[in-house]
């Protein structure tokens, strides 16, 4: 074997959503802060992202997380989320995977019954409380970054769909929140392909027609995902986040539900301290709530809390042979979709 690059990862998932954690083979990415490191991957050199994410070394249904030494003195570890389109600033499910891996592999000492881990992300610090017993990280509760409603009841024109009502909100990244009742669709697995198609089309329309820009974090422009927000027959919150180039998040989605809570708070439909359950398209669950309010550049914002479970399910090592004709991999539309032209 004559690999010119070797990367070792721990495989984990949070309530069904796979978040691989790179534990060896990547030393650093240029940038003095996590935000600068993210922008370097997105604006200067994304070869590492493509190597890790694309086939044959990656697949559509996953994220890959890069661990770094923190640049903030109050953080225990720092990380970036790599996905099919770019590096993203924050993710609840990936944060749960990262904390679970850090503790269960001993990279951060596990203290029972509770370990506090502070993660540094491009969107800010995320404080995690891990419930631990018998060497297992049983549940991770995240105090997420400040979240706010950016545009309520916005309307975009979508080819083939006409006028679509959306809310734009920030939950660590920007979301376009869509009520699936507009299309007479329930959030169930058999509707996944229809939801992906509509969600991707609305995503493109939002970024073409609406101005979305974080007032304080450079590089966080435009929405990252759309999310269908509804309820199941019991009245429990149900959601389906649509990720480029065309798939559904298997978890209930931490940043998406943070954005959703921000819109509910703005409308007076949820109170500080009120707990909710959020379910994914596969009925996995996060517990969500608002711990307090704050402000972001003069906008009313909330401090969301998200709680869920993560599991390690494997160890994975990949490499690059010098003669491999696909050093940065490839994507094919049968699995990945191509709603955003990423396969060109």
The catalytic residue positions are 91, 253
Cα–Cα nearest to 167, from 287, 91, 264: 264
Helices 92-104, 254-266: crossing angle, 10 deg rounding: 130
Q: How many CB atoms lie within 10 A of CB 167?
A: 24
Q: Which of 311, 101, 122 is nearest to 224 (CA)?
A: 122
DSSP string spanning 120-154?
A: EETTEEEEEEEEEETTEEEEEEEEPPPBEEEEEEE
287 with 277: CB under 8 angstroms?
Answer: yes
Peptide bond connecting 113 to the previous residue in cis, omega within 30 degrees of 0: yes
Taking only Cα atoms into account, the Rg of the chain, rounded to an integer number of angstroms, comes to: 19
């Amino acid at each position: 074997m004559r690999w010119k690059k070797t990367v070792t990862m721990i495989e984990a998932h949070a309530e069904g959503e796979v978040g691989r954690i790179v534990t060896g083979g990547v030393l650093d990415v240029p940038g003095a802060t996590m935000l600068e490191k993210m922008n370097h991957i997105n604006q200067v050199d994304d070869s590492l992202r493509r190597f890790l994410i694309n086939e044959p070394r990656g697949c559509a249904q996953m994220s890959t997380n890069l661990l770094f030494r923190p640049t903030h003195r109050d953080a225990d570890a720092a990380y970036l989320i790599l996905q099919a389109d770019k590096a993203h600033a924050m993710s609840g499910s990936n944060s749960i995977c990262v904390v679970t891996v850090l503790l269960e592999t001993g990279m951060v000492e596990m203290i029972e019954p509770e370990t506090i881990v502070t993660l540094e992300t491009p969107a800010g610090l995320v404080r995690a409380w891990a419930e631990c017993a018998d060497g297992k990280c049983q549940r991770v509760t995240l105090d997420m970054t400040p979240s706010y409603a950016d545009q309520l009841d916005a309307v975009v024109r979508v080819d083939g769909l006409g006028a679509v009502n959306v809310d734009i909100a920030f939950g660590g990244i920007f979301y376009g929140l869509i009520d699936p009742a507009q299309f007479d669709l329930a959030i169930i697995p058999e509707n996944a392909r229809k939801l992906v198609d509509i969600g991707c089309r609305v995503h493109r329309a939002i970024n073409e027609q609406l101005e979305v820009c974080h007032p304080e974090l450079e590089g966080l422009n435009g929405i990252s995902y759309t999310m269908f927000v509804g309820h199941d027959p019991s009245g429990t919150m149900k959601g389906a986040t649509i990720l480029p180039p065309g798939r559904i998040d298997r978890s209930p989605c931490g940043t998406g539900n943070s954005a959703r809570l921000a819109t509910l708070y703005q409308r007076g439909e949820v109170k500080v301290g009120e707990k909710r359950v959020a379910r994914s398209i596969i009925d996995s669950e996060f517990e969500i709530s608002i711990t307090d309010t704050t402000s972001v550049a003069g906008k009313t914002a909330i401090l969301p809390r998200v709680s869920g479970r993560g599991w390690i399910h494997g160890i994975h090592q990949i490499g690059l042979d010098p003669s491999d004709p696909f050093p940065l991999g490839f994507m094919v539309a049968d699995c990945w979709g191509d709603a955003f032209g990423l396969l060109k």
